[in-house]
Amino acid sequence: MKKVDSKNLSFNYTQTDMRYVAEYKNGKWDEGRMTDDPYIRMNECACVLQYAQTCFEGLKAYETADGRIVCFRPDLNAERMVSSCKRMNMPEFPKDKFVQAVKDVVKANKDFVPEYSSGGALYVRPFMYGKDPIINVVSANEFEFRIFTLPVGSYFKKALSLCVSDYDRAAPHGTGNIKAGLNYAMSLYPTMEAKKAGFNENLYLDPASRKYVEETGGTNVMFVTNDGKVVTPKSDSILPSITKRSIIQIAREELGIEVEERPVEIKEISNFKECFLCGTAAVISPVRMVTDHGKEITFDTSDNEMGPVTRKLYNTLTGMQKGTVKAPEGWVVEICKA
């Protein structure tokens, strides 16, 4: 029996039944276990609380039309978490154990996976943090890796209005290309300012020259040219989105759409026809307007209909994720029956 109201989904924290926890002590991970306790007790001087030694991942589990529960490319989340851990001086969590733990947590919360027809999913949030008390600025010695889940609906509800930010979300040679909590902490002030001003999100520029488009606080960005080519920024300080990498492959190999990954100047975006954000939470979310210091740049979309190339990519990607379109080998991982 479902424990989720599939007709009233939001993107807010909801407590589900079970979560996974593994502890790292004396140079090794323990066996890991499931727990029903959503609370964490730690010392006031835990490294994560003082120096933000933490990173996370995000993926989704879906109910398919034929009654299975699946997730999408969890191996890539496991891999990206390894990169994040290396950069944050945290121990790697083994990739095979990561994927198994994702499957175990989803299975234990399968009644919270929204119905196929709802368009929702079970969001899966793996994370790791430094746990022991540290006051001098060095790495923790003890860590916890956890995974919790929550049922979610759309992250964005309608076509988006973005604001080109005067703040940076990343530094040159910093941590923009990993999923460190600190990247999100530094985006909170500019995000709240943008929302107060009536925008949905900030569009950040490259922190070195402020000439090129990077991404938003929680998504990569993609554009479509007048002749139907997809263009997306290439930069060392943006997160290598799994959704974007999948879209690029779908465009090139399934839909025969040309894709350019290259530096994109902010001053050229008025030449593009369509613009959309992509990510696990955002899926593919069309952008209606980007405001660059008073200059309004609009794109081919409305609240009811995305641009035609965006729509084609959306239908193919979500069809693969939910089992109605054949996906490349290994992308869709079956967990259990619904």
Question: Of ligand PLP, ligand COI, none, which one sits near residue 134, judging by CB under 5 to 8 A according to partner kind?
Answer: none
Kindly state whether residue 191 participates in binding ligand PLP, applying the rule CB under 6 A.
Answer: no
Distances in whole angstroms, Cα of residue 182 to Cα of each of 21, 83, 213, 250, 303: 22, 15, 21, 32, 33
Kindly state whether residue 281 participates in binding ligand COI, applying the rule CB under 6 A.
Answer: yes
Rounded to the nearest whole angstrom, what is the least distance from the CB of residue 282 to ligand PLP in the complex?
7
The three-class DSSP label of residue 186 is helix
Q: With CB under 6 A, what is the number of residues at the site for ligand COI? A: 5
Candidates 167, 173, 241; CA nearest to 201 is 167
Kindly state whether residue 279 participates in binding ligand COI, applying the rule CB under 6 A.
Answer: yes
E-assigned strand segments in the chain: 19-25, 28-29, 33-35, 54-56, 59-63, 68-72, 121-130, 143-152, 160-164, 201-203, 220-224, 230-233, 259-262, 274-279, 283-292, 295-298, 332-337
Angle, nearest 10°, between helix axes 242-249 and 308-321?
A: 110
Return the number of the residue (53 or 243) whose C-beta is nearest ligand PLP: 243
If you count them, how many residues does the chain have?
338
Q: Which of 130, 174, 190, 279 binds ligand PLP (CB under 6 A)?
A: 279
**Residues in 28-87 at the binding interface with ligand PLP, rule: CB under 6 A:** 58
Question: Of ligand PLP, ligand COI, none, which one sits near residue 310, judging by CB under 5 to 8 A according to partner kind?
Answer: none
CA distance 66 to 42: 43
Question: Of ligand PLP, ligand COI, none, which one sits near residue 322, judging by CB under 5 to 8 A according to partner kind?
Answer: none
Distances in whole angstroms, Cα of residue 78 to Cα of each of 84, 135, 317: 10, 30, 20
Query: Per-residue x/- marks for ligand COI, 205-224, CB under 6 A?
Result: -------------x------
Mark the segment that binds ligand PLP (CB under 6 A) among 222-230, 235-243, 258-266, 304-312.
235-243
Kindly state whether residue 177 participates in binding ligand PLP, applying the rule CB under 6 A.
Answer: no
**Residues in 29-58 at the binding interface with ligand COI, rule: CB under 6 A:** 58
Residues that bind ligand PLP (CB under 6 A): 58, 215, 218-220, 239, 241-244, 279-280
